[in-house]
Amino acid sequence: MYRYAHKNVRPFSAVCQNNYGRQVIFTRKRQITKNNIIEELNKALVIHEQNAIEIEYLDRYYRGDQPILYRQKVNRPEINNKIAVNLAYELVERKTAEMCAEPIQYVLRGTDNHKSEEITQLNITMDSESKQECDIDIHRWRSICGTGYRFIGNDDGQGQLLDESDFSLSSENPMYTFVVYYSNGRPAFSCQIGEDENGADIYYVFTDNEWFDVRNDKIYASGINGNRAIPVIEYPNNARRLSDIEMTIAITDAINVLTSDRINGVEQFVSAWVKFVNCEIDIDTFRKMRQEGALVVKSNNGSDNKADVDVMTSELNQTEGQVVFTDLFERFLSIQGLANRQGNTGGDTGSAVELRNGHYDAGLRTAINEPILKKSERMALRLILNRLRINKGFTLMPSDVEIHINHNKLDNMLVKAEVFEILLRCGINYKRAVKTIDMFSDPEQVALESAKRMEMLFPEEQPTTATPNNNNNDKTADE
């Protein structure tokens, strides 16, 4: 087994011992201080080590290292195809694209012009920090192993050339990062595991008020946490920290076995054995006759035991195999809430196709996942806004900001444009209308750029008194 160290030889159920989902780490302490941080860190590391083993397995599975690649055959071991149909990769990429194909935007609640400019600047700052790239990596980790982490760090003048912000955003590897919680669910402390130049472990720990550099069970350095919040934010995939991969990992393993055996069946049919009945032939003679394409054999005992030569063939029923494969694949799509690629059979409307092929269900699955994501985004937003208030004089509060997760903007564009026109004619504020129709990735920027024209076409204050011309028209009408 040592030759397969850190390889996915065993099924995942054996690695996690059927305890699916990553275990959430809790502390019973009411407050974490320098007096108890070493003890609590060591307790947390015991649980995190098991989580890390499972995370590594799922990450390798996503990259194609799956148990089928280590399968050994006893019967005809020379025919042993190992086909890994990497549905885990497709699953993770589709789940990630549903959330992050478009940048997550911050939208203002209300119509305050000053705050509208601030929120536009906030979106620009996030774009300059490549937040979308960071988001994509976090959501990949969420889908792969059930959780992801964002670290909001200091640039300290060491940022890139012409870096306009004083903070940095990064996605942390969950194998080397974790957060410990109090019993009420509030974060107690975070830990990031690194190495020194000699390969020894370093534990960087943050609480709300302090930071610690822990080495060899001792506090090597410590200081005040100026963020007044833990800068490591956890982004769980769901409350149980279940990864998308492990929900259907038994099905994907079965599909790998079925696909490999179907290829084996074809190869065994092509490489069938030759059967000799009541005759003897040496290997050299057989090889010569096989090259000539004909065999000449004699019976061992005259007409009593007639000689016969035949090819032993037993072809695998590919039709029945396809039925099993289709059933497994449909169950995979159903459990994961993914749409299939079935074509239009004729006569269907667009809405009917969405319902039949699972696009509607996929949208619902994405919708119920959004509040979990927004909760973590709001925790990160509080920390970022606090920095901007101190360093840039921002007045934005978290309650002023609506987190907008963008999806496909090309769907039903004509309908959205018609709804937009109706809303404006009904007297809805143009900023609210732009946000409602969900046509633009950055509705706040669109509203800001369109402000002058919109206010001219649809002024907020309508005239309340009649004009002279209106009076004359009324008088003429009366006459």
pLDDT at 456: 81
Give yes or no: residues 168 and 284 share one domain.
no
- Across the chain, mean pLDDT equals 83
Domain boundary among 384, 405, 426: 405
pLDDT digits (tens, 9 = 90+) for 309-324: 555 555 556 677 788 8
Average pLDDT over residues 230-244: 96
Residue 214 in tokens: 């822990």
CA atoms of 322 and 159, how far apart (whole Å): 55
Give residues with Cβ within 8 angstroms of 42, minimum separation 6: 217
Give yes or no: residues 321 and 448 share one domain.
no
Comparing C-alpha atoms, which of 66, 70, 71, 101 is closest to residue 85?
Answer: 66
Give yes or no: residues 131 and 205 share one domain.
yes
Residue 479's pLDDT band (cuts 50, 70, 90): very low
Domain boundary among 405, 436, 456: 405
Domain boundary among 379, 405, 431: 405
CA atoms of 225 and 231, how far apart (whole Å): 9
**Full domain range(s) for residue 304:** 273-312
pLDDT digits (tens, 9 = 90+) for 380-439: 999 999 999 988 889 999 999 989 887 765 566 777 788 888 888 888 887 778 777 777
Residue 30's Cβ-count burial label (10 Å; 0-12, 13-18, 19+) is: exposed
Give yes or no: residues 357 and 478 share one domain.
no
Give yes or no: residues 116 and 142 share one domain.
yes
Give yes or no: residues 300 and 240 share one domain.
no
Angle at 469 between CA 464 and CA 470, to 5 degrees: 50
Give yes or no: residues 303 and 324 share one domain.
no
Residue 199 Rama label (left phi>0; alpha psi -120 to 50; beta): left
Phi/psi for 310 (5° steps) reads -145, 160
Quote the percentage of the chain above a pLDDT of 90.
47
Residue 1's pLDDT band (cuts 50, 70, 90): very low
pLDDT at 475: 45
Average pLDDT over residues 351-362: 60
pLDDT digits (tens, 9 = 90+) for 30-55: 999 999 999 999 999 999 999 999 99
Give yes or no: residues 301 and 335 share one domain.
no
pLDDT digits (tens, 9 = 90+) for 122-138: 999 999 889 999 999 99
pLDDT of 156 above 80 = no
